[in-house]
Structure 1
Amino acid sequence: MNFLNENATSKRTIDDVLLELSNSDNTFISIQEFGKKSVNGDLNGIEIQNRLAELGYDVLLPNKEGKNPVNVRLFYRRSEVTFLEKELPISNEYLNRQCGGSFFVGGEEISVYSLYLPLASDDFVGKELYWDDILNFALKKVLANEKIILTGDFNESEMKRDDTKYYLKISELGKLFSEKDKESTWENKRLDHIFVSPALEKKVETFETYPVGISNHKKISVKINLAR
């Protein structure tokens, strides 16, 4: 959502945001770089949450909010899923940049996480620890044959090596969890991802990447048919 950029020039309104987030009947919505309000004043995060609640979405928050609006949110449509419990953070690093929950949906119990990793150039040690925890978590879930979805902005891309350090971690996670699409999501880099565990891989029907007017990143969307 790019809430921290005081120089953002997008002409988005809250109605634009609500239309984009709710017009596809999304069961889950994962967003990053979010907070109580954007620093340039164009959007109010509390109002977005309240409006989505009116449209039938409940929200999961991180265990801790960051001082800056670089937090995550996970919205879910209450008429389609039964919320079971909030999951523990995957990592002890960056608690504002991760949240997840377990849900009963379509006759299946699944867990969904919204993640947002910092740029490696800002904190090599913290990001490496965060990545280690993600990969250890993914391996345990694969061995347990659990149905898991990991979504978010991982701030790493294999498409063009840049000043980030841990782009190879994307490959490591991709060997454990599946990802169907490889298009760029920010300029010429693929920073945003949806990974599904092997227990869900065969249930994926479509995977799309397309630009939206409410963000400087593209939107990624996956359709999973749990009845398959």
Structure 2
Amino acid sequence: MERFEQPPEDLFGMDPQEAKAYIAAHLASLKLTEKKRAELEADLAKWTGRIELARNKGAEDLALEAEKVAERLRADLAKLQAEAAELRSQIDIMQRQLPALKARERTVDPDLLEQELLMAAGRMPGDEAAAETERNLAKLEKEAQANAALEALKARLVGKADTAGVADSSSHFDGGGQADSGADTANAGHRDSSGGDTGNFADQEVTP
């Protein structure tokens, strides 16, 4: 498949400032070409005069050598003239495109420009919106997972606090029961001791 190349005089994709700089470069090339063309024309005129001079003097051999030089100068001059003509044509075409570029810059549609850039990058319009939606959904999913993990942590902490409270209550009740039992045992012992003394006293009174 043959590769498409943009013509040198096509300013598509440039803004007015870039286009002006591009045209200025072509103008500089044209000026240099015109300078070389003028120098070749002067050289050709000089060697043409030498040819006539040599023939007038009867020096045909010199005239032939001068004719060879003049022929080369004519060939070089023809190339420069063709180059200059092509440059002038390209510059004329580019200068006629400048008003359209300026108008396009003033009325550029951002949405259309974005679509053109996406298509140039190998993507279709809407792909970027779909990618943005996917990023937003992924963000929401990540936030939901983080919230769920936080709630689970809170639930574990609350469960540990409830378990610790139950353990404290059981310890309190067990200690109180043991204290009450000890008190009851001490009271019973006291009563037995009192009863024993009373019995002995009664026996002493009854004996004659």
TM-score of the aligned structures, taking structure 2 as reference length:
0.18
User: Which structure ranks higher in relative contact order (CA pairs < 8 Å, sequence separation ≥ 6)?
Assistant: 2
* Larger Rg, first or second structure (1 or 2): 2
Q: Structure 1 or 2: larger helix share? A: 2
TM-score of the aligned structures, taking structure 1 as reference length:
0.16
Q: Structure 1 or 2: larger strand share? A: 1
